Structure formats: C-alpha cells, structure tokens
Amino acid sequence: MLFPSRGQYAGLVEEYRQQGFETCSDLCAVDYLTHPGRNLPDGVKAERFEIVVNLLSLSQVRRARIRVQVPESDAHVASLFPIYPGVEAMEREAYDLMGILFDGHPDMTRILLPEDWEGHPLRKDFGVSRVLVQFKGAPGPR
C-alpha cells in the first residue's frame, strides 16, 4: 500500500503504468469524518477524505493500492484520466457523491444525481432524511 501526497499522486500512478500496471480497476472516495483514527504510516497526516486507487497488472499478476489524503478545506486531486481513461466515470461518481474535484478531468459533472442536486449524499455530514424516497405507484405528497 502506498501513501503519496496529492502532489506526488499522478506521478506515482504514471510510474506504475510504465511498470506494466495496465488497469485501474477501482477508484473511490472515503469519508473519515466519524472515524478519524486509522493506521497511516509515519509522516502521513490523516485528512477527512481519502481517494483509494487499485491498480492491476494482469501480465505480472500484481496489484497495487494507492491511498491519497484529501483535506476537507481543499477537496481536490489530479485526475488520472490522462493515464487511465477508464477512470472517467469513477472520478465523476466520487465528485457527485462525495464532492471531491479531479483537476484536469474532461467532464467534471454529476453522473448519478440531477445537476441541480444540492450537496453530496455520501458525506457523513449530509443531513439525515434529506433524500426523498419515492415509491412507484405510491400516492404523492399531500
């Protein structure tokens, strides 16, 4: 497991791509608002958000996991789209649901929620019961 800074993140991923890691199999965001204590190596400052990237080398039968700390006050990281174009939807999902921006992404817009949606519903401080649930065939609000 690797813990680069935000400044080192894209460069490190590019190095892994050059070493034969053909696939970015997953990219997701984690909100540690209610769980600040976690195991991090010495010198890595825990932040509220974390981007977790899983790289895969099928030819070498190897995996690599990269975890990047992202502060709440400046929630953005470099996009991996130039390195792995397949992350396009994964980065948009992390933006849509957690509010983390990916610098250099070609279409940093919502992917799951309507464009006029306010907030990011997977953040742990998103208001409880703010998401209206509508059941098919049920009578509407009165």
pLDDT band at 81 (very low <50, low <70, confident <90, very high): very high
Residue 109 carries which DSSP code?
A: S
Distances 80 to 11, 101, 123 between C-alpha atoms, Å: 10, 12, 22
Q: Say how far apart CA 27 and CA 80 lie, in whole Å.
A: 10
66-70, 80-84, 113-117, 124-128, range with the lowest pLDDT: 124-128
- The Cβ-side half-sphere exposure at 129, using a 13 Å CA radius, reads 0
Q: Say how far apart CA 52 and CA 62 lie, in whole Å.
A: 17
CA 83 from chain centre, in angstroms, equals 16
Q: Does domain 1-142 have CATH number 3.30.460.80?
A: yes
What is the average pLDDT across 78-87? 98
pLDDT band at 134 (very low <50, low <70, confident <90, very high): low
Task: Please report the pLDDT score of residue 126 as a whole number.
Answer: 86
